[in-house]
């Protein structure tokens, strides 16, 4: 909008103004007048009025159940205060526009101040938590490059990713930062271990015996017809000559039940196949038997 030239008055519809409860006889008619972004009403004798701003020309249609919806702000008159002549109303509209511009400028300045304050706080936080800040920045960069959440989780681990994701929009607490750094390190160790994993250096169907440590023990039901069977799943990290080999076995052999993570065992079985699970190479044994390995 040109701020130096006076805004022009455009005349609009003739409208019926006022609530029947505020007038005896016929309701007055006025003409709408638009000046800049504002609407006024022109009554008899060319007098300009502001609109009420709270009602639909005297009636609050959403409050018809209270005193027939008469507007309590304009008392049903349907218009606001008397402004005066056309020159007065042009001045009035200009003042309103100037006030609106000042308010907008103030809001903008306030928003900029808040952003700057946030940036300062973020910079201080980053300096105090360099490792955590690096993870947050890396996850953010990865997403800006179009990586999916799944990609980021694979690289950073779920816990570190979740916290880093939050950290992109809010300052993390010290506890969150510590947890993220720790979870990320654990995930890296897991990835490194998976990358170094290898298959047992034997052919399929070979019968093997090895020692190691139980890392996963779980049971699950399987159904065949009407019969439900409880199966065991055991994953063992081998040591000695098979260092770096992980074996997995499932089944119902009685020696497969009742283990705990960390138990030391001797495992014998037949190599069924070689497969990868979450990046770790696993040698799958069938007809396996486990015995507890007692420390000397």
Residue 62 CB, nearest approach to Zn ion (Å): 13
At 282, list the tokens. Answer: 């696993």
- Neighbouring C-alpha atoms within 13 Å toward the C-beta of 16: 7
To the nearest 10 degrees (0 to 180), the angle between helices 130-144 and 158-167 is 90
Residue 160 CB, nearest approach to Zn ion (Å): 58
Give the binding range for Zn ion (CB under 5 A) out of 53-61, 196-204, 213-221, 253-261. Answer: 53-61
Q: Which is nearer to Zn ion, 22 or 293 (CB)?
A: 22
Q: Which is nearer to Zn ion, 80 or 253 (CB)?
A: 80
Q: Does residue 52 interact with Zn ion by CB under 5 A?
A: yes
Q: Which is nearer to Zn ion, 29 or 121 (CB)?
A: 29
Residue 65 CB, nearest approach to Zn ion (Å): 17
Q: Does residue 235 interact with Zn ion by CB under 5 A?
A: no
Residue 30 CB, nearest approach to Zn ion (Å): 13
Size of the site for Zn ion (CB under 5 A): 6
Residue 67 CB, nearest approach to Zn ion (Å): 13
Residue from the set 29, 73, 102, 182 that interacts with Zn ion by CB under 5 A? 73
Q: Which is nearer to Zn ion, 49 or 156 (CB)?
A: 49
> What is the bridge-based pairing of β-strands 246-251 and 227-238?
antiparallel
Q: Does residue 54 interact with Zn ion by CB under 5 A?
A: yes
At 144, list the tokens. Answer: 């800006």
Q: Does residue 59 interact with Zn ion by CB under 5 A?
A: no
Q: Does residue 74 interact with Zn ion by CB under 5 A?
A: yes
Q: Does residue 55 interact with Zn ion by CB under 5 A?
A: yes
CA distance 116 to 289: 66
Picking from 17, 12, 8, the residue whose alpha carbon sits closest to that of residue 32 is 12
CA distance 87 to 99: 19
Q: Does residue 30 interact with Zn ion by CB under 5 A?
A: no
Give the binding range for Zn ion (CB under 5 A) out of 27-35, 65-73, 83-91, 92-100. Answer: 65-73
Give the binding range for Zn ion (CB under 5 A) out of 49-57, 195-203, 204-212, 221-229. Answer: 49-57
Query: Could you say which residues in the range 181-220 bind Zn ion, by CB under 5 A?
Result: none
Q: Which is nearer to Zn ion, 79 or 187 (CB)?
A: 79
Q: Contact, 70 vs 52, CB < 8 A?
A: no
Q: Does residue 71 interact with Zn ion by CB under 5 A?
A: yes
Residues contributing to the site for Zn ion (CB under 5 A): 52, 54-55, 71, 73-74
């Amino acid at each position: 909008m040109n701020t130096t030239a006076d805004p022009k008055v455009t005349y609009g519809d003739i409208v019926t103004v006022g609530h029947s409860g505020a007038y005896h006889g016929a309701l007055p008619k006025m003409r709408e007048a638009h000046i800049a972004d504002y609407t006024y009403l022109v009554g008899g004798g060319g007098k300009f009025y502001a609109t009420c701003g709270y009602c639909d020309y005297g009636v609050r249609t959403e409050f018809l159940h209270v005193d027939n919806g008469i507007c309590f702000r304009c008392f049903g008159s349907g218009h606001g205060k008397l402004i005066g002549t056309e020159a007065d109303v042009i001045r009035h509209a200009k003042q309103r526009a100037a006030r609106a511009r000042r308010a907008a400028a103030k809001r903008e300045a306030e928003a900029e101040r808040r952003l700057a304050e946030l940036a300062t706080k973020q910079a201080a936080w980053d300096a105090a938590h360099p490792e955590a800040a690096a993870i947050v920045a890396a996850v953010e960069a990865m997403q800006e490059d179009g990586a999916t959440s799944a990609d980021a989780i694979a690289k950073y681990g779920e816990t570190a990713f979740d916290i880093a994701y939050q950290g992109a929009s809010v300052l993390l607490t010290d506890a969150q930062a510590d947890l993220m750094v720790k979870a990320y390190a654990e995930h890296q160790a897991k990835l490194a271990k998976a990358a170094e994993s290898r298959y047992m250096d034997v052919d399929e169907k070979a019968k093997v015996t090895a020692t190691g440590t139980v890392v996963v023990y779980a049971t699950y039901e399987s159904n065949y017809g009407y019969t439900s069977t409880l199966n065991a799943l055991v994953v063992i990290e081998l040591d000695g000559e098979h260092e770096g080999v992980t074996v997995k076995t499932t089944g119902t052999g009685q020696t497969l039940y009742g283990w705990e993570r960390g138990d030391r065992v001797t495992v014998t079985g037949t190599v069924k196949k070689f497969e990868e699970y979450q990046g770790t190479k696993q040698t799958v044994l069938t007809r396996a038997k486990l015995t507890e390995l007692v420390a000397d």
